[in-house]
């Protein structure tokens, strides 16, 4: 058997996620290369939506180019049924690190407006302990120095991501060297630092289901 490359795994997990989408629904859509595959597969399967709510300009542009209507959260009367997004790391409790694509704040906001969060990844994203992938933090620019002090006091090594400004107009600090054994506690602690807009730990709102693609197929973790 040939080993599927990472792109083939992204397409496989994207197809599995399409099967979770109800036609005619309002769907929350994340950001990243796996989500790009998901959007393409959704269109290829001709799944019609009432509307999509996007976590980024990037995904909104892709959705609209394929004929989907993209609306804002103000259009919702109640939480939408489903949000689908990728992750940079995911542990067995379905806590994640996200934000490699710099969309973490909007991703948290859109996820918070959904009843169910499905995370779509290939198996390379599964970890025992979160933190090998540098933790993205969106910050107010003037707060970079004190936020960096606070992060160093927590044992991390903060590096401002060069040349990146989020859709919200803020820089990103990537924190290296963390071993996040208690994701809820660390997410909560980082949120308390003045100047932090959002951090990339998704533990207070973890995924409800992870679809994980590997050479053996797509596994469902919950």
Told to check if 104 binds ligand 5RP by CB under 6 A, we report yes
State which of residues 87, 127, 135, 137 lies at the interface with ligand 5RP (CB under 6 A).
Answer: 87
The whole-angstrom separation of Cα 1 and Cα 12 is 16
Among 15, 98, 108, 170, binds ligand 5RP (CB under 6 A): 98
**Shortest Cβ 108–ligand 5RP spacing (Å):** 10
User: What's the rounded Cα separation, in Å, for the pair 65 and 5?
Assistant: 27
Residues in the chain: 222
Minimum separation from the CB atom of position 88 to ligand 5RP (A) = 5
99 touches ligand 5RP by CB under 6 A? yes
For residue 107, the 8-state DSSP code is H
Point out which span in 19-27, 96-104, 184-192, 208-216 binds ligand 5RP (CB under 6 A): 96-104
Among residues 89, 107, 138, 187, the one annotated as catalytic is 107
Q: How far is the CB of 74 from ligand 5RP (least distance, A)?
A: 22
Q: How far is CA 142 from CA 64, 87, 100, in A?
A: 35, 28, 22
Based on CB atoms, which residue is closest to ligand 5RP, 78 or 99?
Answer: 99
Is 138 in the active site?
Answer: no
| Contact with ligand 5RP (CB under 6 A) among 28, 86, 134, 183 | 86
Instruction: Tell me the per-residue interface mask from 8 to 37 with ligand 5RP, x by CB under 6 A, - otherwise.
Output: ----------------------xxxxx---
Phi/psi at 79 (5° precision): -55, 140
Q: Is 81 left (phi over 0), alpha (psi -120 to 50) or beta?
A: alpha
- End-to-end alpha-carbon separation of the chain, Å? 28
Burial class from Cβ neighbours inside 10 Å (0-12, 13-18, 19+) for residue 132 reads middle
Among 14, 26, 29, 102, binds ligand 5RP (CB under 6 A): 102
118, 209 in Cβ contact below 8 A?
yes
Q: In the chain, what are the helix, strand and coil shares in percent, each to the nearest 5?
A: 30, 30, 40
7 vs 23, beta carbon nearer ligand 5RP:
7
- The phi and psi torsions of 19 (rounded to 5 degrees) equal -65, -15
Contacts to ligand 5RP by CB under 6 A = 30-34, 85-88, 98-104, 107
Task: Give the residue numbers marked as catalytic.
Answer: 107
């Amino acid at each position: 058997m040939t080993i599927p490359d990472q792109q083939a795994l992204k397409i496989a997990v994207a197809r599995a996620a399409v099967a979770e989408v109800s036609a005619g629904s309002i769907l929350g859509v994340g950001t990243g290369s796996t989500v790009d595959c998901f959007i393409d597969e959704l269109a290829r399967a001709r799944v019609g939506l009432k509307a999509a709510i996007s976590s980024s300009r990037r995904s909104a542009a892709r959705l609209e180019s394929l004929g989907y209507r993209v609306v804002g959260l103000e259009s919702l009367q109640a939480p939408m049924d489903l949000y689908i997004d990728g992750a940079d790391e995911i542990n067995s409790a379905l806590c994640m690190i996200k934000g490699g694509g710099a969309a973490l704040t909007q991703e948290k906001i859109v996820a918070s407006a959904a009843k169910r969060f499905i995370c779509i990844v290939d198996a390379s994203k599964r970890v025992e302990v979160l933190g090998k992938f540098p933790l993205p933090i969106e910050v107010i620019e003037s707060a970079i120095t004190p936020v960096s002090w606070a992060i160093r006091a927590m044992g991390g090594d903060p590096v401002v991501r060069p040349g990146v400004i989020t859709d919200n107009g803020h820089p990103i600090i990537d924190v290296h060297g963390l071993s996040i054994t208690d994701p809820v506690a660390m997410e909560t602690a980082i949120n308390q630092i003045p100047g932090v807009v959002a951090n990339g730990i998704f533990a207070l709102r973890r995924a409800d289901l992870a679809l994980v693609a590997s050479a053996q197929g797509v596994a469902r973790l919950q």
